[in-house]
Amino acid sequence: MNEDNAWLLVASLALPLAMLIAGLVPGWRRHLSAWLVVAPLPALAAALLVVEAPPLVLDEAGLKIGLALDQPGALLLGVAALLWSAAGAYAWRYLRGDSSEGRFVVYWLLSLTGCLGVFLAADLVSFYLFFGLVSLAAYGLVVHDGTPRARHAAVVYIALAVFGEACLLLAFVLLAAATPGESLLIRDVVAALPSSPLRDQTLAFLLLGFGLKAGLLPLHLWLPLAHPAAPMPASAVLSGAIIKTGLFGLMIFLPFGAELPGWAWGLTTVGLVTALYGALIGLFQANPKTVLAYSSISQMGVATAILGMGLALGEAAAVLVAAFYAAHHVLVKGALFLAVGVVAATGRRRLWPVLLPTAVLALGLGGLPLTGGFLAKLVAKPWLDEGLVGLVATLSAVATTMLMVHFLRRLLANLAVEPMNRAPLGLILPWAGLAVAALFVPWVLYARVLAAADPTEVLTMAYLLAAAGPVLAGLALGLILVRWGNRLPPIPEGDVGVWGERAVRATFAWGRPLARLDAVLRQWPAAGLALLTLALLLGLSMLGGP
């Protein structure tokens, strides 16, 4: 059945692109936002039907450019498509009356194509193309509101994104250069990576490029600026789906099975430090969206630590576990961001039907029993179990629960003024759908993909108690924080990034001496002298070689 449905891989990208082209027709653009909900559906179908099919390759003999879908990719592609669809439906209502709706839809569809394409790319060039597309197009989502805050966030975002692209380009060139033959297929270049003479440099640049996208410390500084600055549905896909492209890059480009103890140790450390740091700094934030952004950083840290341990143990199975962990985060974080918008339109008297599911989802991130997060933590536990690693992982779960209590507290500070207000159905339905998916889809995935067994087997007292421990500790600490937390000093969004920006501004002063040099070089005497010196130097330099 797999091969017959391979056309779905192409359709996944073709539909959003076709919608973009339809947007060129002036009359159609206004109606496009109503159709955002269907744009990711072929990708969802592909994730269900085309897993592990042989890749579709365009130029079998030569460059081998093509699409493929393996199990971890399908996992992420499927949940990302769900999120994009729900957030697209949400955006339709959310953008009503926005004069730049047309522009938003264009950036949305471009980001969507790039995001889905990353999970589908089989070769280096396609991967780079889609990764670049989603990175650049997401700029339009971040900057959409046009406020000074959004513009500032967008500048920081795009500068770092382009830097990440440059790192990846270098890494990809290094990968291709180390691969025998002409193949650019990702599985071929990764297979050749461990024996590459420039292995460590390649890994360093891969880690820089992907770590930046995934928000790993210390490359996370753009994330707490950009994710909250975007409109609600865009924040949901940025924090839910788009940062997963960075994590997915690590999944498919790291050579699991090769002996790389140093890198494994480094990656695990970075992951765990990020997990703790994100959760802790988030506690100092007032804006609920910023709190969620820091939580995303923390969760990406956990997933990265799983990959790091997989690298240490030489087990590629860690990839699927990290993908499952991340898939849960895709749905939950998306639903939570959409909830921020729903709550903001809801009055005090109508609150509970919205707040209760949101609280369950939020605490799920810390591993609340029976939620999807419980399963995610359960699956991750064997990988993050040993000694110090286990301790830090538990601490990060406690901190995450605290962070989510803090999030709920901050959420309540942003209610609609009118107590009887009800959020519009166009916002509630997509949010509710996504929330239901976030609760149940992990169970289905666990049964079908990970354990291939009856999921109710995990509902034993021992497991439930083990999971409840960190949650209860976190709840207790979180409530203490709610009582006395307003004494915490505020930390600016992007924390250390503030210093980074100051440093970058200072380096802009470099331009001034160059401008003076320009003025000198454009004088005749200097140009004449340069001409003579150059003739002399060139003549001499041609005599010898390095």
Partner 1 sequence: MIDPGPTLTMATTADGYLLVLALVLPVVVAVAAPLVGGRRAADLFLLLIPAGLLVAVGIVVAVVRADAALLYLLGGWAPPLGVALRADGLSAALLLTSALVIGMIGLYARPAFATPTGTKEARAPLAFWTLLPALWGGLNAVFLSNDLFSLYVALELLTFTAIPLVCLDGRAETLGAALRYLLFALVGSALYLLGTALLYGAYGTLDIVLLAGRIGTEPTALIAIALMTVGLLAKTALFPLYLWLPPAHAGAPAAASAVLSGLVVKASLFIVMRLWLDLLPGLATTWGAQLLAALGAAAILFGSVLALRQARLKMLIAYSTVAQIGYLFLMFPLVAAPAMAGLGGADALTGGTLQIVSHALAKAAMFLAAGLMAEALGHDRIAGLGGLGRALPLTLATFALAGLSLMGLPPSGGFLAKWLLLTAAIVAGQWWWALVMLAGGLLTGAYLYRVLVAALAAAPEPAIRYRPIARWRELVPLVLAVCSVLLGLVAFAPVDLVPIGRP
List the structure tokens of 388. 């110090």
Contact set for partner 1, span 239-298 (CB under 8 A): none
Q: Is the CB of 34 or the CB of 520 nearer to partner 1? A: 520
546 binds partner 1 (CB under 8 A): yes
3-state secondary structure of 417: coil
52 CB neighbour count, 10 Å cutoff:
11
**Residue among 21, 177, 317, 356 that touches partner 1 (CB under 8 A):** 177
List the structure tokens of 488. 């915490």
* Part of the chain binding partner 1 (CB under 8 A), chosen from 269-277, 374-382, 463-471, 531-539: 531-539
Nearest distance from C-beta of residue 173 to partner 1, angstroms: 4
Q: Is the CB of 181 or the CB of 489 nearer to partner 1? A: 181
d(CA 189, CA 187): 6
Task: Tell me the backbone φ, ψ of residue 133, rounded to 5 degrees.
Answer: -60, -50
Contact set for partner 1, span 357-376 (CB under 8 A): none
Nearest distance from C-beta of residue 200 to partner 1, angstroms: 13
Contact set for partner 1, span 32-71 (CB under 8 A): 58-59, 62-63, 65
Q: Is the CB of 65 or the CB of 68 nearer to partner 1? A: 65
d(CA 273, CA 266): 11
Torsion 2-316-309-243 (CA) sign: negative
Beta partners for residue 66, in sequence order: 57
List the structure tokens of 192. 């050749």
**Residue among 18, 34, 159, 479 that touches partner 1 (CB under 8 A):** 159
Nearest distance from C-beta of residue 510 to partner 1, angstroms: 7
* Part of the chain binding partner 1 (CB under 8 A), chosen from 6-14, 179-187, 392-400, 491-499: 179-187
Q: Is the CB of 61 or the CB of 461 nearer to partner 1? A: 61
Nearest distance from C-beta of residue 218 to partner 1, angstroms: 19
**Residue among 162, 316, 370, 412 that touches partner 1 (CB under 8 A):** 162
524 binds partner 1 (CB under 8 A): yes
x/- track of binding to partner 1 for residues 187-226 (CB under 8 A): -----------x----------------------------
**Residue among 136, 286, 370, 416 that touches partner 1 (CB under 8 A):** 136
Q: Is the CB of 453 or the CB of 537 nearer to partner 1? A: 537
158 binds partner 1 (CB under 8 A): yes
**Under rule CB under 8 A, how many of the chain's residues touch partner 1?**
55
Q: Tell me, what amino acid is at 338?
A: L
170 binds partner 1 (CB under 8 A): yes
**CA 487, 491, 496: angle at the middle one, nearest 5?**
150
d(CA 473, CA 479): 10
Buried/exposed code over 486-504 (b: 16+ C-beta within 10 A; e: otherwise): eeeeebebbbebeebbeee
Farthest CA pair distance, the chain:
87
For residue 80, give the H/E element and its range: helix 71-94
Classify residue 229 as exposed, middle or buried by CB count within 10 Å of its CB (0-12, 13-18, 19+). buried
Q: Is the CB of 25 or the CB of 538 nearer to partner 1? A: 538
Q: What is the 3-state secondary structure (H, E, C) of 155-178?
A: HHHHHHHHHHHHHHHHHHHHHHHC
Nearest distance from C-beta of residue 107 to partner 1, angstroms: 12
Q: Is the CB of 172 or the CB of 407 nearer to partner 1? A: 172
The answer to whether residues 146 and 119 touch, using CB atoms and an 8 Å cutoff, is no
d(CA 476, CA 128): 45
523 binds partner 1 (CB under 8 A): yes
List of residues 6+ apart from 369 with CB closer than 8 A: 464, 467, 468, 471
Nearest distance from C-beta of residue 13 to partner 1, angstroms: 14
Q: Is the CB of 444 or the CB of 534 nearer to partner 1? A: 534
Q: Where are the alpha helices (DSSP H) in 194-348?
A: 199-214, 223-229, 232-237, 244-253, 261-282, 288-313, 317-344
Q: How far is CA 112 from the centre of its chain?
A: 13
CA distances from 348 to 120, 399, 416, 510 (A): 44, 28, 7, 54
The answer to whether residues 328 and 83 touch, using CB atoms and an 8 Å cutoff, is no
* Part of the chain binding partner 1 (CB under 8 A), chosen from 175-183, 249-257, 425-433, 464-472: 175-183
**CA 401, 403, 404: angle at the middle one, nearest 5?**
65
Q: Is the CB of 483 or the CB of 522 nearer to partner 1? A: 522
DSSP per-residue codes, 338-384: HHHHHHHT--GGG-HHHHHHHHHHHHHTTT-TTSHHHHHHHHHTTTS
Nearest distance from C-beta of residue 256 to partner 1, angstroms: 24
Q: Is the CB of 16 or the CB of 470 nearer to partner 1? A: 16
Contact set for partner 1, span 400-459 (CB under 8 A): none
* Part of the chain binding partner 1 (CB under 8 A), chosen from 8-16, 158-166, 240-248, 267-275: 158-166
Nearest distance from C-beta of residue 59 to partner 1, angstroms: 6
Q: Is the CB of 444 or the CB of 526 nearer to partner 1? A: 526
List the structure tokens of 446. 């666990």
* Part of the chain binding partner 1 (CB under 8 A), chosen from 113-121, 249-257, 262-270, 529-537: 529-537
List of residues 6+ apart from 539 with CB closer than 8 A: none
Task: Tell me the backbone φ, ψ of residue 429, rounded to 5 degrees.
Answer: -60, -50
CA distances from 459 to 91, 126, 329, 462 (A): 37, 43, 21, 8
182 binds partner 1 (CB under 8 A): yes
Nearest distance from C-beta of residue 540 to partner 1, angstroms: 8
Residues contributing to the site for partner 1 (CB under 8 A): 58-59, 62-63, 65, 125, 128-129, 132, 136, 158-159, 162-163, 165-167, 169-170, 173-174, 176-177, 179-182, 184, 198, 510-511, 514-515, 517-518, 521-524, 526-528, 530-531, 534-535, 537-539, 541-546
